[in-house]
Amino acid sequence: MHSNTNIPLLSSVIQLIKDMAMKLLLVALLALAFAHAVLASDPSPLQDFCVADDSSKVFVNGAVCKNMNDVTADDFYTSGLDKPGNTVNNVRSNVTAVNVNKIPGLNTLGISLARIDFAPNGLNPPHTHPRATEILVVLEGELYVGFVTSNIGQTNRLFTKNLKKGDVFVFPQGLIHFQLNTGKYNAVALAGLSSQNPGVITIAKAVFGSTPPISDDVLAKAFQVDKRLVDRLQAQQWTDNNN
Ligand SMILES: *[C@@H]1O[C@H](CO)[C@@H](O)[C@H](O)[C@H]1NC(C)=O
């Protein structure tokens, strides 16, 4: 009687432990996969450097490494950032990017730089960097800057700041942000970006200036305006102030 009641109990306890172990394993695997997704970024280097080999016909996520023996100091070098970009354009600003396309040595390192010039009233229009957080320092002049959060509940919160020379501001990865010169003179900023190739999506240009154009029906509904206004916006010349 003793064993008759206990053996089924024991086996169901064992089954329970097995089930729990399976569930734990599943949770652990999911956590690992999730952590991997959350931590995903520019590839972390598995060697001192992996200078982009632009002559390679092989496509990988990034660029293949140039032979170490062929690497020189020039692979980590560029110049000319002392010169302002030309701000004679619709938005009166000019972004000079120094990314992996300018410095092949940045490949796999997860970092790049930009110089941003603003004429008085110049605007770096609302845009996002799909692959990078940005940290910006004002070298000259005054800027009104801000970013908007993603849809949190029903709200997109706006964070803004008036910056002067020496001030620093951060634009988190992927969020829409802008910078406006509010001073009387030219302004200059330097920005560090957490990707070798941050990418830029200029909102107005991407939405109203795509090739081919997005259907005006779609945009009229999305922006809750009539199609004529959409057509007018789509007919405009959309400047890309990034170089
Ligand atoms: C930005 O400045 C560079 C260098 O002066 C110039 O070549 C480029 O055309 C300018 N871009 C715009 C959009 O004005």
Measured in angstroms, how far is the CA atom of residue 84 from the centroid of ligand 1? Answer: 9
Q: Are residues 54 and 123 in the same domain?
A: yes
Q: Are residues 35 and 74 in the same domain?
A: no
pLDDT score recorded for residue 44: 81
How many domains in the chain? 3
Q: Are residues 153 and 56 in the same domain?
A: yes
Measured in angstroms, how far is the CA atom of residue 176 from the centroid of ligand 1? Answer: 23
pLDDT score recorded for residue 32: 54
Atom number of ligand 1 nearest to Cα 94: 1
Q: Are residues 126 and 52 in the same domain?
A: yes
**36 carries a ligand binding annotation:** no
CATH of the domain at 107: 2.60.120.10
Closest of 129, 99, 126, 100 to residue 115, by C-alpha: 99
Q: Are residues 69 and 119 in the same domain?
A: yes
Measured in angstroms, how far is the CA atom of residue 241 from the centroid of ligand 1? Answer: 7
Range of the domain at 241: 201-243
188, 141 Cβ separation under 8 angstroms: yes
Whose alpha carbon is nearest atom 4 of ligand 1? Answer: 85
Q: Are residues 166 and 194 in the same domain?
A: yes
For residue range 212-229, list pLDDT tens digits in order: 999 999 999 999 999 999
Q: Are residues 159 and 59 in the same domain?
A: yes
pLDDT lower than 50: segments of the chain: 1, 3, 36
Q: Are residues 163 and 54 in the same domain?
A: yes
- 28, with CB counted inside 10 A (0-12, 13-18, 19+), is exposed
Query: At 92, which amino acid appears?
Result: R
Q: Are residues 148 and 34 in the same domain?
A: no
pTM confidence score: 0.82
pLDDT score recorded for residue 23: 73
pLDDT score recorded for residue 186: 98
Q: Any residues with Cβ below 6 Å from ligand 1, and which?
A: 85-86, 89, 94, 239, 241, 243
Q: Are residues 55 and 8 in the same domain?
A: no
**129 carries a ligand binding annotation:** yes
Q: Are residues 48 and 105 in the same domain?
A: yes
For residue range 130-166, list pLDDT tens digits in order: 999 999 999 999 999 999 999 999 999 999 999 999 9
Q: Are residues 56 and 1 in the same domain?
A: no
Residue with tokens 């040595």: 105
Residue of 79, 86, 237 best suited for mutating to test ligand 1, as the one with most atoms within 8 Å of CB: 86
pLDDT score recorded for residue 27: 63
